[in-house]
Amino acid sequence: MRSVLALCALTLVLGLPSSEQRATVTASAYNSLPSQTDGNPNEGAWGDEIKPGMKVIAVSPDLLESGLDRGTEVQIDGLEGTWTVLDRTASRHRNRIDIYMGIDVDAAIAWGLKKVTISWSPTTP
């Protein structure tokens, strides 16, 4: 019991995330091409520069409302590394992420649409 209390106290003092969030979402893929964007193909919805090689995802508006804010770091089951929310999908999408694949159109097409589980730690204001 003492160790649980000590861990809770440490979490509060250091500001460590108290719980990991998980969701199963539909994942598609996109590229830095003018035909796939509104305007500048290397600019995310908030004005962030997005370049091939970066691990970036776009999230649907409902996921933004659920706490997947700009800059949130996300793990995607089945993919290596940490992905960062730097873009938004079109408003018509729900429960969806779009995985950035640079200019590799073949990889994006091969990805298609998949159900994946994502995880992240909530950000503190």
CATH code for the domain in which residue 37 is found? 2.40.40.10
Classify residue 96: in a domain, yes or no: yes
Classify residue 83: in a domain, yes or no: yes
For 79, the domain range is 20-120
Which residues are bridge partners to 22 per DSSP? 119
In the prediction, which pLDDT does 13 show? 42
Classify residue 99: in a domain, yes or no: yes
Classify residue 77: in a domain, yes or no: yes
Residue with tokens 């861990």: 7
Report the predicted TM-score, pTM, of the whole model to 2 decimal places.
0.81
Is residue 65 within a helix (H) or strand (E), and if so which, with residue range? helix 61-65
Q: Look at the chain and report how many structural domains it folds into.
A: 1
Classify residue 12: in a domain, yes or no: no
pLDDT digits 0-9 by tens, 55-112: 999 999 999 998 899 999 999 999 999 999 999 999 999 999 999 999 999 999 999 9
